[in-house]
Amino acid sequence: MTDKAKIINPKNTLKQKVGSGGFKPEDIEDAQKAIEENTIDFKDDANAFLTKLDEAIEDARKNIDDDSMLLSLTHPVMQLKAQGSMFKYPLITSISQSVLDMLENSLGIDVDLLAILVQYSKSIKVILSNNIQTEQDPLGEQLAKEISSVKDRYIKKISSE
């Protein structure tokens, strides 16, 4: 065979449709300013996520062998993590990340995981009711350290099973 392969470069129609470039610096500055100056009360949204989490915990207790329940436990925690810092609660983001690490490493739903999630929910409620936004607050620091410690112990436990 003497035929050589012919390279064909297809048209990139998607790029033609959306164009090229990035964000204008002033758009980024405007977005950052909006985040820093927002006056939205995050507590209502956070409490709604906690209600969903508490309901998911109860459902999971009734169906502890149904690992599909893991998603309904994970979603509210993920939302709290994503939105905490945006609404001036970096402590919620930090603690939620630790809990997400546990959920992502879990081998399924177990009694210990549900007990940890109950304490996580209570901790977030304490944070919100006392307006504890960062780990610079002594109670915030204590909560963050304890949740991180719980995460480490839980992951070590399930890793040895």
Q: What is the pLDDT of residues 34-50, one digit of tens each?
A: 877 878 889 999 999 99
For 34-56, give one letter per residue: b (16+ CB within 10 A) or e: eeeeeeeebeeebeebbebbbeb
Token look-up 């998603």 returns 71
| Domain CATH number, residue 93 | 1.20.120
Number of other CB atoms surrounding residue 147 within 10 Å: 22
Residue 114's pLDDT band, with cuts at 50, 70 and 90, is very high
pLDDT of residue 15: 66
Residue 127 counted as domain residue = yes
* Average of per-residue pLDDT across 105-131: 95
Number of domains forming the structure of the chain: 1
Query: Rounded CA gap, 97 and 93, in Å?
Result: 6
71 inside domain: yes
pLDDT in tens, 52-84: 999 999 999 999 988 889 999 999 999 999 999
Say what the pLDDT of residue 56 is.
97
Q: Is residue 7 part of a domain?
A: no
Region of residue 76 (phi > 0: left; psi between -120 and 50: alpha; otherwise: beta): alpha
In a domain, 123, yes or no: yes
Domain that residue 63 falls in: 43-159
User: For residue 145, is pLDDT > 80?
Assistant: yes
Q: Is residue 30 part of a domain?
A: no
Whether pTM > 0.75 for this model: the answer is yes
- The verdict on residue 18 lying in a domain is no
Return mean pLDDT, the chain.
Answer: 90
Residue 136 has pLDDT above 80, yes or no: yes
**pLDDT (0 to 100) of residue 2:** 62
- State which amino acid sits at residue 28: I
Does 66 reside within a domain? yes
Within a domain: residue 6? no
Residue 132: pLDDT over 60 = yes
Q: How far apart are the first and last CA of the chain?
A: 58
Q: What's the rounded Cα separation, in Å, for the pair 54 and 115?
A: 11
- Cβ of 76: how many Cβ atoms within 10 Å? 24
Shortest CA distance to 110 belongs to which of 161, 58, 67, 155?
Answer: 67
